[in-house]
Chain A
């Protein structure tokens, strides 16, 4: 294709270094997945640390897990799965050009994300006042407090980085909700909506693993 032809067939939303909208979309999706793989490796390091220490100190892991709030953890899992559905529906609305559905679905996704963070804050407060934060003030009445402290270190690190990703995710959804409301996205061009959707679902998957690994180790749950 010559330069003049490229200009003539230039679709709105098509960046000049791509030949077609389809090529642009494929490149955008693959780029997002390369980024998500780096995110998987980032969390993967912490999951590996978790695996090594759980293998070494299984009793301390069970003892620490008994202090996780089973109900808040389960409710948060449900909240995130619902937010993934509303996000998937929002991406579908962008694909089909249903702008009236797009913005409310994105706002619903943000609301569910904020509900998750609120519940997480309640849990964090509980652990904090119980001295279950690693450091000089850490206290644990049990046979193996040093190793339970490792469990809590990983709990705070993994859920903390997950919560940070949720905060960023809510910000990204707010961004595309604003531009969706402005009418920037069409069935031909909605890559940002698709990519924020991929990010949101990725963060959901991290929680899908954190929930059983942190909350469901011991079968004696706190009620």
Chain B
């Protein structure tokens, strides 16, 4: 088999990291960081999402590079959607 089999301890390590990051984001939410609260919460969520994508979803071990292109292009498109929407709404005053 050419398919990469991830060791059990890697999966358990990723699970433990995800649990730690959940505890961190929950604890940090009790502190008022003003504008930074959202930034910190989203940064932690993105770290968790990356761990899930790379290890649980095997993207780190993909042999087919075309699939990585599909994923990156899709996320780039989502980034365009959000950035251009905010370039409009973020600079208006809504009543």
Contacts from A to B (Cβ < 8 Å)? 22, 25-26, 29-30, 33-34, 37, 40-41, 44-45, 47-48, 51-52, 55-57, 70, 74, 77-78, 81-82, 84-85, 87-89, 92, 95-96, 187-188, 194, 197-198, 201-202, 204-205, 208-209, 211-213, 215-217, 219, 221
6 residue pairs A–B, Cβ–Cβ below 8 Å: A77-B22, A78-B19, A81-B18, A188-B1, A205-B48, A209-B45
Q: Please report whether the interface of chain B is mostly helix, strand, loop or mixed according to DSSP.
A: helix
Complex contact B25–A212 (CB within 8 A): yes
Contact (Cβ within 8 A) A30 B52: no
Query: What does the 1/0 interface line of B2-15 toward A look like (CB < 8 Å)?
Result: 11011010011011
- Report the minimum CB–CB distance from B14 to chain A (whole Å): 8
Set of chain B residues within 8 Å of A221, measured between Cβ atoms: 29-30
Q: Which residue from chain A places its CB closest to the CB of B64 in the assembled complex?
A: A26
Q: Which of A74, A77, A87 has the most CB of B within 10 A?
A: A77
Known A84-B56, A92-B8, A219-B30: A74·B22 in contact at CB below 8 Å? yes
Chain A interface helix/strand/loop/mixed: helix
Contacts A51-B82, A89-B11 given; indicate if A30 touches B30 (C-beta within 8 A). no
Return A15 CB to nearest CB of chain B, in Å: 17
**Other A-B pairs, 11, CB within 8 Å; known A25-B3, A29-B64:** A30-B66, A30-B67, A41-B77, A51-B86, A70-B29, A77-B22, A84-B18, A84-B56, A85-B11, A187-B1, A216-B25
User: Which of A41, A87, A216 sits near B41, CB closer than 8 Å?
Assistant: A216
Interface membership of chain B positions 62-95, coded 1 if the CB is closer than 8 angstroms to chain A and 0 otherwise: 1110110011011101100110011001100010
Q: Cβ of B48 and Cβ of A44 under 8 Å apart?
A: no
Contact of B71 among A33, A82, A84 (CB under 8 A): A33
Residues of B within 8 A of A216 (CB): 25-26, 29, 37, 41
Closest A residue by C-beta to B12: A85
A residues within 8 A CB of B22? Answer: 74, 77-78, 81, 211
Which residue of chain A has its CB nearest to the CB of B44?
A: A212
Contact A205:B2 (CB < 8 A) given known A81-B22, A89-B8: no
* Complex interface: chain B residues within 8 A of A211 (CB): 22, 25, 45
Docked Cα-Cα span, A163 to B71, in Å, equals 24
Nearest to B89 among chain A residues (CB) is: A52
